[in-house]
């Protein structure tokens, strides 16, 4: 069984308050995008357990990986001995604010449930997903959604406009936990525009820009540079970063814009032309 695990961007992210236990109350509008990881899930005929492999050597293969945790949790729920082989092909960068690990976990839950004859309802899968990670329930919904609570309360949103995107990421990631931890005491940097951006009926804003830009000023420069380019209708940090996404006026402008960004900002930038789905 082959599954595609899409990345996401946050079109808006508001932090309402810090909750007990270290989590934060948020209100975010997320949408899946055409960039995706690929998972292959099949019965392990040669032995028991969870045989997990990945083509990216930087991805951990043990219990700290959300795919392994999701698989372990699924088999525990159906009270069965794990006998599965999972292969992950990574295309979504890590520490990027694009939800790759959460999407992989959601696809693992969905795939295992289908492979075993759908013993768990969607509601039960969503409950398990929330135990694994705050963004995992969103990826089970398979559509744009407004997510509240710590992210686990998912309300699908229909009829969002399709957006042509260019994703840019430097050669470093941002730890989500540290971005949220630093939010409460963070300050706006002089000369950096944090104001919400109106794009049709959408309002693009991200409260995590404040702590992330304070620690990684290059990301603030990237966003400012993108907003000055004629091809760009809007630009915003996705999640906790380190990806900045640009909403393009025309999809065919992505390649030339990416080449210019590498010339003028950083030749090592990772870039991806994609769209919302």
Positions marked catalytic? 8, 135
Q: Could you tell me the CA-to-CA distances from 169 to 79, 199, 227, 244 in Å, in that order? A: 41, 22, 16, 6
Task: Calculate ∠ Cα 251-166-209, nearest 5°.
Answer: 140
Q: Name the pairing type of β-strands 83-89 and 24-43.
A: antiparallel
d(CA 117, CA 90): 27
**Distance from chain centroid for Cα 191:** 28
Instruction: Supply 268's token pair.
Output: 């090592």
d(CA 1, CA 170): 33
Q: How many CA atoms lie within 13 A of 5 on its CB side?
A: 32
- Tell which residue, 160, 138, 168, 177, has the closest CA to residue 245: 168
């Amino acid at each position: 069984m082959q599954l595609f695990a899409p990345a996401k961007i946050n079109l808006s992210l508001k932090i309402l308050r810090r909750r007990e236990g270290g989590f934060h109350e948020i209100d975010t509008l997320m949408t899946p995008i055409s960039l995706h990881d690929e998972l292959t899930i099949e019965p392990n005929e040669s032995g028991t357990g969870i045989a997990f492999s990945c083509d990216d050597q930087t991805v951990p293969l043990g219990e700290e990986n959300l795919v392994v945790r999701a698989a372990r949790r699924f088999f525990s729920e159906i009270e069965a001995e794990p006998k599965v082989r999972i292969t992950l092909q990574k295309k979504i960068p890590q520490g990027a604010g694009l939800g790759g690990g959460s999407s992989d976990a959601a696809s693992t839950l969905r795939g295992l449930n289908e492979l075993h004859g759908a013993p768990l309802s969607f509601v039960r899968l969503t409950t398990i997903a929330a135990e694994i990670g705050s963004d995992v329930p969103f990826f089970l919904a398979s559509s744009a959604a407004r997510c509240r609570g710590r992210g686990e309360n998912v309300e699908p949103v229909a009829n969002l406009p399709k957006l042509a995107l260019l994703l840019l990421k430097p050669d470093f990631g941002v730890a989500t936990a540290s971005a949220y931890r630093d939010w409460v005491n963070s300050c706006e940097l002089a000369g950096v525009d944090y104001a919400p951006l109106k794009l049709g009926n959408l309002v693009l804003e991200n409260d995590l820009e404040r702590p992330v830009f304070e620690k990684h000023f290059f990301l603030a420069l990237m966003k400012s540079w993108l907003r000055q380019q004629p091809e760009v209708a809007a630009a915003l940090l996705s999640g906790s970063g380190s990806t900045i996404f640009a909403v393009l006026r025309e999809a065919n402008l992505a390649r030339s814009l990416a080449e210019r960004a590498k010339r003028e900002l950083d030749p090592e930038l990772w870039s991806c032309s994609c769209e919302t789905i």
